[in-house]
Amino acid sequence: MQELTINAIGAQGDGLARFADGKPAFVPLTLPGETILAKMDGARGEIAEILKASAERVDPVCKHFGHCGGCAMQHWAAGPYLGWKAEQVRVQLSMEGLETQILPTFAAPPASRRRVALHARKAKGGAKLGFKERRSWNLVPIEECPVTDPRLIAALPALARLAEPFLEHPKSAPTLHVTLTGTGLDIDVTGVERKSGGLSADARMRAAMAAGEGDFARVTLAGETVYGARQPLVKLGPAIVALPPGSFLQAVPAAERAMVDFAVAESQGAARIADLYCGVGTFTFRLAEIGAVHAAEMSPPAIAALKAAIGPTPGLKPINAEARDLVKRPVLSPELAKTDVVVIDPPRAGAAEQTVEIAKSKVAKVVSISCNPATFAKDARALVDAGFRLEKVLPVDQFVWSPHIELVGVFTR
């Protein structure tokens, strides 16, 4: 056993201490100022006993906490927890030599996540569903989840019955990607063994029967329809969009609204807006109430869904939407010649190639949404070097009680 004093929380949410020789030690589920006994395995360990607890320690709200790998910070009081998230943004910016106003972290409410990825394993008499254990491939069967919309939790028994036919092959390790939409649950299943011929006709029939009994909207296998009762629909601003199978959607509606509201407020007065990495139109339709929008996205099905929603939606300025690989073929600076505002929401890898073109353009304002403060900071450095000023950043706690941080930043010339 090793006695340690926790000095800080690292970027992955683990408590950070120092051994006697000054080398770092990482112990999850600890808080700054705590003295603990830890069972160490190299630089990483587990709590054996808390000798001195932090005044910021609170009782976790979920009985699976500490075992389930989904949440890392239910034991931390809300104020310092949200402050830590803002501090992580500041640290990443400082590593690129940047400073700005960091607004108070927007806190998404518990019991609001509309998207979950549930892993399925064989169990006696059927299938069990859950999340992976901390630092393990083992499964924690989930009976409750205080971060998730209760309607998803209520559907767990029906989802387990749906999962069972997808375990037909011994090498299959299905994951059910479940999205709560306005017309019911949309489930895309991945991880099913394909080399042996994929799902049999009998398994497909049993999956369709289970989906019908569960009153699901749609079930797809890696995008291929297995069962379809209703088109999964979501409301994005004034538009109603039919989701393509397996498409990206922000995990929490309240966090989505906060980010969209922020981007819309910063885009007021713009006549022409570019919405890059637009997805199915999370920002597009609200922006099109302000000015004409050029929307670009890598996924052709997402663009098709966006286009299909334009016609039935009244009150929009013109939207030009195109499927375009913004890494291999970014929107070039001459194409942005008459653009007033660029709104960009890239994947975790950032938008280095597209940022180069924005930096070369005459665009006056950029609103950048990111799920990775480190790549945001790198792209921000490129924009600042080109003459932009990072005005402010809004951290967004979309994935409650996790170390994950979303943010929206505003750049002006």
Q: How far is CA 360 from CA 210, 384, 403, in A?
A: 54, 12, 34
Contacts of 69 (CB under 8 A, 6+ apart): 131, 132, 133, 134, 135, 136, 140
Q: Is 145 a catalytic residue?
A: no
Tell me how far apart the alpha carbons of residues 342 and 274 are, in angstroms, rounded to a whole number.
5
Helical pair 373-385 and 78-95, crossing angle rounded to 10 deg: 40
Note the helical H segments in 197-345. 201-213, 253-266, 284-287, 300-310
Contacts of 152 (CB under 8 A, 6+ apart): 113, 114, 116, 145, 178, 180, 185
Residue whose structure tokens are 């975790």: 348
First-residue to last-residue Cα distance in the chain: 55
Tokens read off for 177:
């990607």
Note the helical H segments in 121-275. 150-154, 156-163, 201-213, 253-266
Tell me how far apart the alpha carbons of residues 93 and 112 are, in angstroms, rounded to a whole number.
29
Tell me how far apart the alpha carbons of residues 78 and 85 are, in angstroms, rounded to a whole number.
11
Catalytic position from the list 71, 145, 278, 371: 371
What DSSP character marks residue 68? B
Positions marked active-site: 371
